[in-house]
Structure 1
């Protein structure tokens, strides 16, 4: 049994669908479960025992909007180890290294807690520009995407590629026991992203650069808690400084196929209107 925490979210739903297609027993857990799912709330320990019963592996998506998740996640992971879980795959971020602040503290403990583990450290999601996320809404309603990234570039990645790496990390006979920095095939600036959205979507989109303080206010106005809004804005400043200007071969190394480009991703989503392909599909 593989527990997929956040199994209705951006990567979790693809991970769950792919595991099920490949014949693995899964348990989908979320705060608002679909019929047949399990209710799971990081902040409510009474939801944890049922979610863990009979589980051997976990795909762990951290609590959303939590700047310091370690005090919330580590007690659950301790309980999971005691319940017999052997393998945990944690969704983290390329911007957060092991033993750094926040989720990095969970990353640093994972190998101590479990004999089999992996930490996924994806770059920023391509999904942010085509879903109901702020960038996508702003592009659609106002013809612009707004950031504090300047001319900094990011190796934006398809969530389906992240999910496929997750599935391999959860099911490969040999545990990965490492962290994976996951990117798309090219590092793009927000100006380049806007150009692709214009080309593929058929409507003009521009990139408007603002300062981090103004960006934090925008995030808060979109319902993001103030502390997390400031944290997200600070990540834009690291992008501007070049911290995300990289690509890796992780998707190809782990899955055997190349990651999807942003242009191809947008063609599927903006023209076809369908969901991202199921991980592992062609």
Structure 2
């Protein structure tokens, strides 16, 4: 792919967006990191999904976009579809959408955005990653906070398994989807190399950190109430709880070779991740 124009990374300061931005910048490519509160003197540009006035300036001179849906929005298509049309009409050719392994193309919400890309984007890819390994260490995330404060991980997943994936592997796949000479024009389910229950993840964290961490399974209703009590809107909490229930039924018990197929290297294992982040869990 030739790069006569620049790149826009929406969610450019987030978990995957910041990594995509850094990699493109390291390669000397013109990239903007979309942020609602851009820091002066950086690559960041003002971008807010809810403020269409920020969309045009952010898209100026852009030929490819990494799309991170608005966080916590159960109807992202409402703001994303007009943006996609505006971007395409303004000359953007390639779109890479961050979706989720739990969201199929025929689902509402992000699934609707997925379907729209097939219809309107000249070149596109959809990344459908499993649950992020970073959820266990990122300050403010429920799992990270409960590990630090109580030595436990609380879910409604039962003994269901998830092939947790490193955000760095997702970002590397995104960069390839943005830069590869041949457009992918497909969706990739992106996972780590093994599927683990949350009990097994807790065991790996315990082994790496030397601190006892356990998984405490709860009902779907109790988990939803826990989420709303933490300040998450009811409709989004309901969706998250339903995803946990899906995991308990085996919805995420799968391993995909996509990381190796897209990037040429294997995905990082959860145990390697736990060893590298052991210090984050040692102190209560």
Q: TM-score, normalised by structure 1?
A: 0.95
Q: CA RMSD in A?
A: 1.1
Residue number in structure 1 paired with 2:272:
264
Residue number in structure 2 paired with 1:22:
27
What whole-Å deviation, never above 9, does each CA across 1:126-174 have from its counterpart, x for those lacking one?
A: 0011111110110111011000000000010000000000000000010
Residue number in structure 1 paired with 2:67:
60
Residue number in structure 2 paired with 1:105:
112
The alpha-carbon deviation at position 217 of structure 1 amounts to 1.4
**Runs of 5+ consecutive residues of structure 2 not aligned to the other structure:** 1-5
Report SS of the residue matched to 1:56. Answer: strand
How far, CA to CA, are the matches of 2:247 and 2:114 in structure 1? 22
Residue number in structure 2 paired with 1:137:
145
What whole-Å deviation, never above 9, does each CA across 1:10-64 have from its counterpart, x for those lacking one?
A: 0000000011112211011111222231111101011111000010000000000
Q: Which residue of the other structure, out of 183, 188, 198, is the alignment partner of 1:175?
A: 183
How far, CA to CA, are the matches of 1:227 and 1:272 in structure 2? 31
Query: 8 Å contact 2:8–2:34 — kept in the other structure?
Result: yes
Residue number in structure 1 paired with 2:3:
none
How far, CA to CA, are the matches of 2:225 and 2:209 in structure 1? 28
Residue number in structure 1 paired with 2:92:
85
The alpha-carbon deviation at position 214 of structure 1 amounts to 1.0
How far, CA to CA, are the matches of 2:66 and 2:27 in structure 1? 16
The alpha-carbon deviation at position 68 of structure 1 amounts to 1.3
Matched residues, number: 273
How far, CA to CA, are the matches of 1:22 and 1:242 in structure 2? 40
How far, CA to CA, are the matches of 2:86 and 2:277 in structure 1? 40
- Runs of 4+ in structure 1 over 6 Å off: none
Residue number in structure 2 paired with 1:210:
218
Report SS of the residue matched to 1:208. Answer: strand
The alpha-carbon deviation at position 272 of structure 1 amounts to 8.0
How far, CA to CA, are the matches of 2:167 and 2:75 in structure 1? 24
Query: 8 Å contact 2:137–2:280 — kept in the other structure?
Result: no
The alpha-carbon deviation at position 221 of structure 1 amounts to 2.2
Q: Which residue of the other structure, out of 108, 112, 117, is the alignment partner of 2:124?
A: 117
**Runs of 5+ consecutive residues of structure 1 not aligned to the other structure:** 274-282
Query: 8 Å contact 1:130–1:270 — kept in the other structure?
Result: no
Query: 8 Å contact 2:191–2:258 — kept in the other structure?
Result: yes
Query: 8 Å contact 1:130–1:266 — kept in the other structure?
Result: no
How far, CA to CA, are the matches of 2:218 and 2:182 in structure 1? 46
What whole-Å deviation, never above 9, does each CA across 1:162-189 have from its counterpart, x for those lacking one?
A: 0000000000010000000000000000
Q: TM-score, normalised by structure 2?
A: 0.94
Residue number in structure 2 paired with 1:236:
244
